Structure 1
Amino acid sequence: MDIKLSQCFIAVDDHDKALPFYRDVLGLEVRNDVGWEGMRWVTLGAPSQPDVSVVLEPPLADPNASPADKQAMSELLAKGLLRGVIFTSQDVDATFERIRAAGGDVLQEPVDQPYGVRDCAFRDPAGNMLRFVQS
């Protein structure tokens, strides 16, 4: 069996705020930008990984969701409790400085973890935690 990751989804409450972060700060390329029934999905990816995409989606991508469910998902997103994504970088310290210089919301400066990796962490404009691990 040959299974590979194709897409991962990150909830964002404002695509117009999230897109510059993922595109301009992280350097991901925009592959698709689709709207449907008042919702929007933006697909991005690293040029070095053409088969793997990150999809920025609404917090609750269901046109039939109740207002209470939409409110609950928005509150979880605002607290940073929905998703986290881990990216790799050949130089975590340089990645950290680039993202911090661009105004990234720092959660953790680069550190050597006791479990053997060097990493750092930020929040994206929607509050999601993004970790960057040295490869």
Structure 2
Amino acid sequence: MLNALAISQIFVLDQDEALDFYVNKLGLDVNTDTDLGFMRWLTVNVPGDPGRQILLEKPGPPSMDPSTAETVRELVAKGATGGHLFFQTDDAQKTYDTLKARGVELTDEPTQRPYGIDFGLRDPFGNSIRISQPTPPPAG
């Protein structure tokens, strides 16, 4: 049966802009950047975790006809595609401050919740990102 999730996908309108955001603003690593001829296969991963990748996919062939791709691009531009990413950090406040200094669009401040501290942001295409500092499990 299944034993791992290897690649998740979100839609982006400009892969170069996405690469800049996810690598230079969020601090992810480029995993794969390959021209397949019919599409650019561009994945990033959290440093030290190359087994879990995020495909930064531009709407279009081979998975979409031109009409569908245009509709998806319109939805992406409105932030309505439902793309979500969830990351963890050891220090939510420090991560928040770093991203704020880098000019990232933050949607809320670090807030204590039952599961830990978290905050939100958006990528340049409207995809929602949450970053959390989980509460450690009780000892014993």
TM-score by length of structure 2 reads: 0.84
**Distance across 1 between alignment mates of 2:62 and 2:7:** 21
**Distance across 2 between alignment mates of 1:38 and 1:134:** 39
**Distance across 1 between alignment mates of 2:100 and 2:79:** 19
CA RMSD in angstroms, aligned pairs only: 1.8
**Which structure: larger Rg?**
2
For 1:34, the equivalent position in structure 2 comes to 34
Alpha-carbon offset, residue 41 of structure 1: 2.4
For 1:90, the equivalent position in structure 2 comes to 90
- Check the 8 A contact 1:37/1:63 in 2, yes or no: no
The 10-residue stretch of structure 1 (81-90 or 29-38) with the greater mean CA deviation from structure 2: 29-38
Q: Is it true that 1:23 corresponds to 2:17 in the alignment?
A: no
Query: What is the DSSP-based 3-state SS (H/G/I as helix, E as strand, rest coil) of the residue aligned with 2:17?
Result: helix
**Distance across 1 between alignment mates of 2:7 and 2:64:** 23
Question: What is the identity, as a one-letter code, of the residue corresponding to 1:110?
Answer: P
Question: What is the identity, as a one-letter code, of the residue corresponding to 2:120?
Answer: A
Deviations 1:84-125 (A, max 9, x none): 000001111111111111111111111112x43311111111
Deviations 1:57-82 (A, max 9, x none): 1134x347343312210121112222
Question: Which structure 2 residue ranges, 5 or more long, are not aligned?
Answer: 135-140
Figure out how many residues of one structure are paired with residues of the other and give that number: 133
Question: Sequence identity of aligned pairs in percent?
Answer: 35
Alpha-carbon offset, residue 35 of structure 1: 2.4
1:87/1:64 Cα in 2 relative to 1: closer, same or farther (>3 Å)? closer
**Distance across 2 between alignment mates of 1:13 and 1:52:** 22
- Check the 8 A contact 1:92/1:132 in 2, yes or no: yes
TM-score by length of structure 1 reads: 0.87
- Check the 8 A contact 1:59/1:77 in 2, yes or no: no
